[in-house]
Structure 1
């Protein structure tokens, strides 16, 4: 039987550093399938430079999943290796796939510094030298004494990195291009926000070094054989040469799991062409997060009825490459006070989730903070601390149930009004279909055709935002209402 897939991003940036996440997810594994969750994206499980406080993206040791006493801790922010593997086992027992977060761009927290020849670069371009070659102390030697060579005896040194973001002896931050044997220039990448955007932060991995490529493949082998994940989320692809991730995926798919799922983070602001160039360069081997659609949703939520809802999918990946688009409303990078803050206003989130969950195109990803709610305090760009509340979206569980049980079949769009749009999912042999209507303005209604086979039948709003019933006329058409700045999802009334 056909089942609509949904990813749940099971973390947010400010989740407490108390080692509970893996156990929390294991405990909830049996409850998630009823809501239609078919896959969970979990954060980077590897030991980070900040130890138990690290969110996993300042990655220190790929082989430490919370097993070794490194960076003053055995566990990671999220728990121990044993808890991590138990969580995966529980999810698999309940038919839920696990997508592991993979950080291939950089390392952090080196065990030793090395004398390295570099050129300091203009940070606005990354390519214009603002110094002659100088020798600095760089954090580029990773020996992992706490692991003692278990699983891998590979030692990272400056030959494995193309640049660093800090000169330890000078106590100076910057962009320092290592003058190594592979090239005095950065690797070629697609992102054009700067003249070259290979360098992002920390110790940038050099993929022109063949031993680095081989080590990352061997780590992928070890990781899969250890954890048995079903897919991967690839971090910071904009800053990695586009030829290595598909090579790594080919290796993984050919040797271990032929249907290994992959979705990439490539943050493009509103530049759809960058995503499409990356898809072409990687031969369509990687799904991509639909960042342009996220920005459309964010802008729509702030513009209220001034936004033309009929254009909501313009310039989105789901409109041009629907089979490769992973759609989302928010994630850990967009939540308030984060560097890419671009939130969707709470009033619009039920509409936004209807737009990604109840349509035929795209593979939707639900954000932890929208699912559970969260609150936190952090320093903003103004230097002051702010207390942030992100309420859980009360309509979200019902929207997920509608996706699981109703949102199937052909799709007929009614995008003929700037403030009120709708569509019909016609259903199939196993699922009855539904009618969706959204308004970003006043109370509204729309005539939509569900088919003559439903003449005389009654439809009700599954979300219970509208109480009256809709009766389908002899032509198979109904007049479906929606409240102002709201969404209603109409389904056949059960006898």
Structure 2
């Protein structure tokens, strides 16, 4: 859901020089370097969609050992006019070739503002741009036929498609007398054009089931999930919203909007009855709250704890905060990491943040405008490749200070893992670190350093990182 504090950062980051300092054969003793090492007790995340194989074959994505990457396929106020589904469809092959395994779409059904709505004010869950209601046939994004063509194309590219699901509130109903409020409320949805999931005042709070649930949003009628009729239409019956989206429209998963507005049992029941990948938008930086919700919802959750720590680290010059707790450290299988989205965009120094989420555990998300408009696509594609092919195993934090952060992915099932070195300072930095590899040559897969050092027999080696940038090291193979 769009938040009032939405900020837009249109910082276009310049390519950093790939020049290097020092001698790649430098045998300086590491004894003069103070190295702090911390192992994060988390399991590696190899359970995301399309978690086997590697590379891209004829434009069809097959993820490598590191798993897949999610693309948020929209931003707030994408162009209206009904062409967005076609726009996204036209990019799927390039995204697949880049190593992106799934795309998250905006709310696809007809909303109160019809052809002008971003979809977060839903009226008829079964109108995908094929009924003339709320002033238009098509949605802002296009027609049902165009949406189905997009989903078919994504599946042909071996990519999954996630639907943005708004079930906290509805909008666009007609006025009716409401005995529970003693007033008239906009809760009459008996005339929805699809004829499915017709609603009235007793399907919204306050009603015979109570006065309220966990939260309402924006003055919209607050859907009552305690009502068995609502449950049946959302996930129970064969033509419920969830099952229709999955079995008829062929969506593969769900991004649940504003899950603070209802109990985690709602998403748990949806997932149990419908299936598919799911992630909740629980806008909270408290990692305990995120973990509690994810466990009770049986769902992934966006890692807002990591998001705010990255802002402090990369924008405010305090990389030490990356030692703090985050959802991906608690449970990487249920953590979806991100640098920006359609609601919030507070991180200005984005490339180090993408280097962070694409080398660490969790399921990383790329924001459409960062990829297609604002940042350097070649550098992002490089990070996606590194993620898919090298980012395996548990994570050990090797060194942190205000300006430098070094972490090691310890490898998994024969994959060598990597070492990422992020440097916020204005000069080249070097550190001795302990790797996964004994007496083997390594290289920086970003190309920012031209060193090709060989690790010592005890696995130690000196690496470097360019100013205001990063390097990512693994076996030269």
TM range, smaller chain: 0.7 to 0.9
1:303 aligns to 2:316 (yes or no): yes
Following TM superposition, by how much is the alpha carbon of 1:219 offset from its aligned partner in structure 2, in angstroms?
2.2
Q: 2:154 aligns with which of 91, 95, 98?
A: 91
Q: Structure 1 residues 113, 331: closer, same or farther in 2, change over 3 A?
A: same
Following TM superposition, by how much is the alpha carbon of 1:106 offset from its aligned partner in structure 2, in angstroms?
0.8
Question: Aligned residue for 2:176?
Answer: 114
Question: Aligned residue for 2:60?
Answer: none
**CA distance in 1 between partners of 2:436 and 2:268 (Å):** 45
Q: Structure 1 residues 363, 182: closer, same or farther in 2, change over 3 A?
A: same
- 1:428-478 CA-to-partner distances (Å, cap 9, x unmatched) read 5664543210112243111123355444x252x332333444343454332
Using the TM superposition, name which of 221-230 and 41-50 deviates more: 221-230
Question: Aligned residue for 1:143?
Answer: 190
Q: Structure 1 residues 144, 417: closer, same or farther in 2, change over 3 A?
A: same
1:241 aligns to 2:263 (yes or no): yes
1:59 aligns to 2:77 (yes or no): no
SS at match of 2:76: coil
Question: Aligned residue for 2:212?
Answer: 186
Q: Structure 1 residues 449, 107: closer, same or farther in 2, change over 3 A?
A: same
Question: Aligned residue for 1:250?
Answer: 272
Following TM superposition, by how much is the alpha carbon of 1:353 offset from its aligned partner in structure 2, in angstroms?
1.1
- 1:126-156 CA-to-partner distances (Å, cap 9, x unmatched) read xxxxxxxxx3332111133544x3xx2x421
Q: 1:470 aligns with which of 446, 453, 456?
A: 453
1:420 aligns to 2:467 (yes or no): no
1:286 aligns to 2:299 (yes or no): yes
**CA distance in 2 between partners of 1:262 and 1:452 (Å):** 37
Question: Which structure exhibits the higher relative contact order, with contacts defined as CA atoms closer than 8 Å and separated by 6 or more residues?
Answer: 2
Q: Structure 1 residues 481, 206: closer, same or farther in 2, change over 3 A?
A: same
1:488 aligns to 2:471 (yes or no): yes
Following TM superposition, by how much is the alpha carbon of 1:483 offset from its aligned partner in structure 2, in angstroms?
1.8
- 1:327-368 CA-to-partner distances (Å, cap 9, x unmatched) read 111111103xxxxxxx101xx312111211112x21111111
Following TM superposition, by how much is the alpha carbon of 1:427 offset from its aligned partner in structure 2, in angstroms?
4.3
SS at match of 1:300: helix
Question: Aligned residue for 2:434?
Answer: 449
**CA distance in 1 between partners of 2:438 and 2:192 (Å):** 71
**CA distance in 2 between partners of 1:416 and 1:313 (Å):** 8
- 1:397-446 CA-to-partner distances (Å, cap 9, x unmatched) read 11001112222345443134332121233545664543210112243111
What pairs up with 1:35-54 in 2 under 5 angstroms? Answer: 35-54=98-117
Q: TM-score, normalised to structure 2's length? A: 0.80
Give unpaired runs (5+ residues) of structure 1.
120-134, 163-177, 190-196, 254-259, 336-342, 374-389
SS at match of 2:405: strand
**CA distance in 2 between partners of 1:315 and 1:396 (Å):** 26
Question: Aligned residue for 1:315?
Answer: 325
Give unpaired runs (5+ residues) of structure 2.
1-52, 54-64
* 8 Å Cα contact 2:104/2:161 also seen in 1: yes
* 8 Å Cα contact 2:396/2:408 also seen in 1: yes
* 8 Å Cα contact 1:48/1:108 also seen in 2: yes
- 1:240-271 CA-to-partner distances (Å, cap 9, x unmatched) read 13322211221113xxxxxx111111111x22
Question: Aligned residue for 2:279?
Answer: 263
Cα RMSD, aligned residues only: 2.2
SS at match of 2:164: strand
Q: Structure 1 residues 211, 138: closer, same or farther in 2, change over 3 A?
A: same
Q: Structure 1 residues 250, 474: closer, same or farther in 2, change over 3 A?
A: closer
Q: Structure 1 residues 199, 355: closer, same or farther in 2, change over 3 A?
A: same
* 8 Å Cα contact 2:169/2:216 also seen in 1: no
SS at match of 1:478: strand
**CA distance in 1 between partners of 2:289 and 2:433 (Å):** 37
Question: Aligned residue for 2:368?
Answer: 368
Q: 2:86 aligns with which of 19, 23, 46?
A: 23
Following TM superposition, by how much is the alpha carbon of 1:16 offset from its aligned partner in structure 2, in angstroms?
0.9
Q: How many residues align?
A: 409
Question: Aligned residue for 1:405?
Answer: 389
Question: Aligned residue for 1:166?
Answer: none
**CA distance in 1 between partners of 2:267 and 2:394 (Å):** 35
